[in-house]
Amino acid sequence: MVLVSFQGERGAYSEAAAEKFFEKCTTLPLGTFADALDAAADGRAEYAILPVENSLEGSIGASYDLLHHTMLRVTGEIYHRIEHCLIGSGSLENTDTIYSHPQALGQCRKFIEQHNMKTIPTYDTAGSVKIVKGLDNNCASIASQKASAIYGVPIITRNIADNPNNHTRFLILAQSESSSTGSDKTSIIFSIRHEPGSLYRILAAFNESGINLTKIESRPTKTNAWEYNFYVDFEGHKDDPQIQKVLEQIERETTFIKVLGSYPAAG
């Protein structure tokens, strides 16, 4: 059975996504995204799973920054529905303080405001269930149904998020590459020269080859203020001759380019 590292405590959404992707796997909970990637890079785990984007909150900047530096390859993707539950030992009426990850607190803002609850940010959704287990029953947490089951703290209210359209996209990373399946995506990172039209000429190369971009994201380079790395996903496998030709073409327009990997496109 494969071993998959993830950030968070047992019961985290990342763990559930890993179990859905691999069907059969064991999981290794670690403290940070960087720890999860390190475990796959040094062989303690065969795969790492990393959340990269949420349908409500947008891209997870810290994950994109790690992709820039990792030696691992992206070998898969999965979309996982996030269903936030209010979890605690008290009733809805006597709950006045909520512990959870800031992103989960943000996604349940209306529910929290309606019930006039105080929020306390924590490092992890599942970890917040562990925290409230030791507190008075006016304290509750926001996490998954699975975290409620693992830590034995009851669900007070299900589906408390403002917007039910709440999905997270996860990437699967490993030391090896995925071969072409005929329905693949490729993820790349590049920086461009500070010249008018640089980004346009790169998009033009994709457009002329009929390659469909599925995502474009810019992140500061951190070395030079207001210079950006672009994170682009497109349809096709990096071993396709047509994709190779476009990658060669855009290399001329970039100051840095890294192919993160090609992998079967999810649903």
The C-alpha atoms of residue 171 and residue 237 are separated, in whole angstroms, by 16
Residues at the site binding a second copy, with contacts judged by CB under 8 A: 53-58, 61-62, 102, 106, 121, 163, 165, 167, 196-197, 199-200, 203-204, 206-207, 210, 212-213, 215-220, 222-226
Taking the complex as a whole, the smallest distance from the CB of residue 171 to a second copy amounts, in Å, to 15
Taking the complex as a whole, the smallest distance from the CB of residue 116 to a second copy amounts, in Å, to 14
Question: Residue 4 or 232: which CB sits closer to a second copy?
Answer: 232
Taking the complex as a whole, the smallest distance from the CB of residue 46 to a second copy amounts, in Å, to 28
Annotated catalytic sites, by residue? 168, 170
Three-state SS for 252? coil
Q: Residue-wise over 55-71: b if at least 16 C-beta within 10 A, else e?
A: eeeebbeebbbbbbebe
Identity of the amino acid at 251: E
| CA–centroid distance for 258 within its chain | 19
Distances (CA, A) of 118 to 95, 131, 135, 139, 145: 9, 16, 15, 9, 22
Q: What angle do CA 252, 255, 261 make, to 5 degrees?
A: 85
Question: Residue 89 or 191: which CB sits closer to a second copy?
Answer: 191
Taking the complex as a whole, the smallest distance from the CB of residue 62 to a second copy amounts, in Å, to 8
Question: Residue 54 or 138: which CB sits closer to a second copy?
Answer: 54
Question: Residue 48 or 60: which CB sits closer to a second copy?
Answer: 60
Element (H, E) at 87: strand 85-88
